[in-house]
Amino acid sequence: MSKHRWFEDLNTKIQNGWLLLDEPLNKYTKTRLGGKADIVAAPGTMEEVQAVVTYAYEQNVPILLLGNGSNMVVRDGGVRGIVIYMANFNHIEITGDKMVAEAGAHIIDASRAAAKACLSGLEFACGIPGSIGGAMAMNAGAYGGEIKDIITRATVMDNTGKIFVLSKDELELGYRKSIITEKGYYVLSAEFRLTPGVQRDIDLTVADLTFQRESKQPLEYPSAGSVFKRPPGNFAGKLIQDSGLQGKGFGGAEVSTKHAGFIVNKKDATATDYIRTIQMVKDEVKKKFGIELEMEVKIVGEELSE
Ligand code: FAD
Q: What is the CATH number of the domain that holds 103?
A: 3.30.465.10
Integer angstrom CA distances of residue 193 from 68, 114, 153, 189: 23, 11, 9, 14
Integer angstrom CA distances of residue 81 from 20, 76, 131, 133: 12, 15, 22, 20
Total count of domains within the chain: 3
For ligand 1, pick from 138, 143, 151, 181 the residue to mutate: most ligand atoms within 8 Å of CB.
138
Asked whether residue 305 is domain-assigned, the answer is: no
Residues 6+ apart with CB under 8 A from 162: none
pLDDT at 13 over 80: yes
Asked whether residue 79 is domain-assigned, the answer is: yes
Give, using CA atoms, the residue closest to atom 22 of ligand 1: 134
Write the CATH number for 238.
Answer: 3.90.78.10
Give, using CA atoms, the residue closest to atom 34 of ligand 1: 225
Residue 204 binned pLDDT confidence (cut-offs 50, 70, 90): very high
Q: Are strands 63-66 and 79-85 parallel, antiparallel or unpaired?
A: parallel
Phi, psi of 248 (to 5 degrees): -95, 155
Same domain? For 105 and 79 the reply is: no
Asked whether residue 51 is domain-assigned, the answer is: yes
d(CA 121, CA 197): 9
Q: Is the CB of 298 under 6 A from ligand 1?
A: yes
Same domain? For 76 and 97 the reply is: no
Asked whether residue 157 is domain-assigned, the answer is: yes
Q: What is the pLDDT of residue 161?
A: 97
Instruction: Give, to the nearest 10 degrees, the angle between helix 3-11 and helix 46-59.
Output: 150
d(CA 57, CA 177): 24
Range of the domain at 26: 3-85
Q: Is the CB of 72 under 6 A from ligand 1?
A: yes
Taking residues 223-233, report their average pLDDT: 96
Q: What is the pLDDT of residues 27-86, one digit of tens each?
A: 999 999 999 999 999 999 999 999 999 999 999 999 999 999 999 999 999 999 999 999
Residue 305 binned pLDDT confidence (cut-offs 50, 70, 90): confident
Distance of CA 57 from the midpoint of ligand 1 (Å):
25
Distance of CA 154 from the midpoint of ligand 1 (Å):
16
Residues 6+ apart with CB under 8 A from 227: 236, 261, 262, 263, 278, 281, 295, 296, 297
Same domain? For 238 and 180 the reply is: no
Query: Which atom from ligand 1 is nearest to the alpha carbon of 72?
Result: 2
Query: What sections of 117-169 are H helices per DSSP?
Result: 132-138
For ligand 1, pick from 26, 70, 177, 262 the residue to mutate: most ligand atoms within 8 Å of CB.
70
d(CA 277, CA 221): 16
DSSP conformational letter for 23: E
State which of 85, 108, 126 marks the end of a domain: 85
Asked whether residue 34 is domain-assigned, the answer is: yes
Q: Is the pTM of this model over 0.85?
A: yes
Tally of residues, the chain: 306
Same domain? For 196 and 97 the reply is: yes
